[in-house]
A and B are shown apart, each in its own frame.
Chain A
Amino acid sequence: MKCRVCDREAAGAYCDRHERAYQNLRERYEAWKQALDVSWKEYLAEVAQNENTGTWAKEVAEALLSRDES
């Protein structure tokens, strides 16, 4: 199976690099929801353009957003 983001080998949807970024995105959402009352999609859009977000986390957020749109 290939990673949805980078085409590397993956056991699930993501390779081990992007899987960790995905898990971080999931974990952090609760805090954002409580602080700003944002939806998952709004959160992903915010995170994807935040300068402090790591590149792999950004790639996953963008991939999730584009899947959602398609």
Chain B
Amino acid sequence: MGKYTLIVTEKPEAARRIAQALDKEGEPEEFKRRGVPCLRAFREGELVVVPALGHLYTVVHERGGRNYYPVFSFEWAPRHLAERGAKQVKAWIEVFSEMAENADSFIDACDYDLEGSLIGYCVLKYACGGKEGLAKRMKYSTLTKRELEKAYAELLPGLDFGLIKAGETRHEVDWLYGINLSRALTLAAQRSSRRYTTLSTGRVQGPSLRFMVEREREIRCFVPAAYWDIGAEVEIGGSAYEVEYEREKLGRRAEADAVVRACEGKAGEIKEVELREFQERPPTPFDIGTLQTEAYRHFGYTPRQTLDIAQRLYLQALISYPRTSSQKLPPVIDYRVILSSLSRGRDYEDLAAELLKRAELTPHEGEKEDPAHPAVYPTGSLPEAALSGPERKVLDLVVRRFMAVFGDPAVRQSMRVSIEVNGHLFYLRGRRILKEGWMRFYGPYVSSDEVLLPPLRKGDTVRLRRVTRQDKFTKPPPRYNPSSLLKKMEDEGIGTKATRADIIQTLYDRGYIRGRSITVTGLGFDVTEVLSGHCPSVVSVELTRGLEEKMELIQNGGEKRENVLLEAVEQLRPVLEGLKEDEEAIGEALSEALRRARMEERIVGPCPDCGTGSLMIIYSRRTGKRFIGCTNYFKNACRTSFPLPQKGTVRPAQRECGACGWPQVEVRMMGRRPWILCFNPRCPRKEERRP
């Protein structure tokens, strides 16, 4: 093999696309080294494209060992030396080292962002033996042939060291926080209970959990207030229409009763008809946050799921790079080429053709910018293989949003009819769309709330068909869901577009939160209370936001990595000393929290027999077998018990049987799909199945 150019990519799929785009024939030679899929392409010279597997290197403690803190000395090391389950990384690093030996030039073709730049840098520096200074950089936002060829023709002369330093610092600061605080919590609990359970927190995890704890506290302490409103209907031309009373809330029941008495059976006179027309501008292009919010709203996908789906679509060259905070679509992406490609498919043929007829195409852009990438947009390429359902849905959302941003403003008309009934005013409201504009392109994703009213004139009389008092209660604030939490983190300026979804997932994985409509668990409460009590700065938004801002400055050369690291250590040192001093008290609180959490995990639901106890998964000390028993058994008050399968794992399903209303359990066994079991022996569904 002669000399060649070694191209480093972030993932195998990206390597394949790049090699295909750059090879003269479009058919690069695939070969495997130690199981790593590499590609050889020919252009002016030979190109060898080797993919990474995301991060191959990570931050580790220089000294090793797990059972102590504080730890402030670190280094970058191959992931397989630091993480269980990363064995395969060894082969990938060896392949890079081997392939670098015969290479005479190097190109970093990883994604152009904080993480991608760091991945490429680490490979070039550590695996390829100090080639980070020689390497050139490919910068692209889509994996289409056109853009990859352009990026190769216009290589940046060197790596983006500002971005790399910022990425490096972020990993190091997060490591310092994560390792020290998590060890402090875990060791305190372990020393107190003599039982190991991983407890974690971090620079962003702590404040994020605190948002939810604060909200949960408000919900759990909430006491509703009673209020009343008036429900009424008028009859116009034989049809009934809901009307609103002039006051939204009435504070006393007697007041509401008086209104009902005064209006019952009376006719109303139209006093005024107000018409208002307003324009609704098109939506702005998707940055990753708004894409995640819309995908949650329409399909119920969590931010993590949307990010994963978008990443897959990007690797198939169907959409542009999704981890972007930009809401801009620069003309350089060539709107017409994309629309022409979209018009070739059946689904968007008419809509794309309609836009192409226009002499000028100007997107309605948002405020947010990202120096590295434009907003998320479709490339116009057709899928090479069948897409999964979620992929199809997210792609459709991206395509329609892209077209909608070029649409005209929509024109809506609102109508308010004031009706007087015996001295009381009621409002009849109507809404309709006069001109669809961009809504036509966004189609199913437009919230249509049209209420069409018949023609009405001042002085007309209408009959009040129904008027009733409605007893209402104020509601607690809504719970966060993964999407609104992500938005909150974004608004508070903590985490990055690439890390927020993962942090939310970690909170679920650690058992601190559960459910789509997020509930904080007892463990989540206790961990936050321990941290707030002993080291409030760790859960404060201000501290993490301050660090975030400084890390961003590194990218532009406005701050030095060393200063930020020093600051992080200086902030952490007194916190960790405090935690060590209070270790006994913290340990006791956390062990108690873990004990309660383990109990909570085994509670199936209320006991249907005694009504006061809870059904719980219990392990017999005598036989080791498990069964469901009532907690009142221990007080000799209830002897209810039910058998359980003895194989696999059983846990509360957090739902009730549709037939008998009893709580259910979820059973998981190797090689079988998990199933939901109703353990009520007299469940009507079981009776039905009996021969």
Contacts and interface: CB of A to CB of B under 8 A. Distances in A.
A27 B474 CA distance: 15
Contact of B219 (A17, A34, A47, A54): A54
B257 to A, nearest CB: 12
A28 B220 contact: no
Interface residues of A, number: 20
B588 to A, nearest CB: 11
Contacts of B223: 21, 24-25, 27-28, 47, 53-54, 57
Interface string A1-34: 0000000000000000100110011011001101
A26 B221 CA distance: 12
Contacts of A56: 220-221
Given A24-B222, A53-B222, A35 B473 contact: no
Given A34-B251, A35-B252, A35-B253, A54 B222 contact: yes
A47 B222 CA distance: 10
A70 interface: no
A28 to B, nearest CB: 4
Contacts of A31: 225-226, 251
B679 interface: no
Given A34-B252, A35-B252, A35-B253, A50 B221 contact: no
Contact of A36 (B222, B224, B253, B474): B253
Contacts of A66: none
A21 B216 CA distance: 12
A55 interface: yes
Interface in B214-261: 217-227, 251-253
Contacts of B475: 52
Interface string B202-219: 000000000000000111
Interface string A44-70: 000100101111110000000000000
B221 A47 contact: no
Nearest to B592: A8
A54 B476 contact: yes
Given A20-B217, A55-B220, A32 B476 contact: no
A57 B221 contact: yes
A52 B474 contact: yes
A35 B227 contact: yes
Nearest to A57: B223
Given A50-B473, A52-B473, A52-B476, A32 B219 contact: no
B527 to A, nearest CB: 15
B222 A52 contact: yes
A50 B474 CA distance: 11
Contacts of A32: 225-226
Contacts of A25: 223
Contacts of B217: 17, 20
Nearest to B252: A35
A27 B476 CA distance: 15
B147 to A, nearest CB: 53
Nearest to B589: A9
A20 B217 CA distance: 9
A35 B221 contact: no
A52 B224 contact: yes
A24 B476 contact: no
A53 B226 contact: no
Contacts of B473: 50, 52
Contacts of A54: 218-223, 476
B221 A24 contact: yes
A52 B221 CA distance: 10
B226 A57 contact: no
A3 to B, nearest CB: 14
A36 B473 CA distance: 13
Contact of A21 (B221, B224, B474): B221
B225 to A, nearest CB: 5
Nearest to A28: B223
Contact of B224 (A17, A34, A53): A53
B212 to A, nearest CB: 15
A50 B224 contact: yes
A47 B225 CA distance: 9
B221 A20 contact: yes
Q: Which of A25, A35, A47, A57 has the most CB of B within 10 A?
A: A35
Contacts of A17: 217, 220-221, 525
A54 B519 CA distance: 12
Nearest to A32: B226
A35 B475 CA distance: 17
Nearest to A26: B223
A48 to B, nearest CB: 10
B251 to A, nearest CB: 6
7 contacts: A17-B525, A24-B222, A28-B223, A31-B226, A35-B251, A54-B222, A56-B220
Interface of B: 217-227, 251-253, 473-476, 525
Given A20-B221, A54-B476, 17 more contacts: A17-B217, A21-B220, A25-B223, A28-B223, A31-B226, A31-B251, A35-B251, A36-B226, A50-B473, A52-B474, A53-B223, A53-B224, A54-B219, A54-B220, A54-B222, A56-B220, A57-B220
Which 7 pairs, one residue from A and one from B, show the smallest C-beta to C-beta distance?
A54-B222, A54-B220, A21-B221, A52-B224, A28-B223, A56-B220, A24-B223
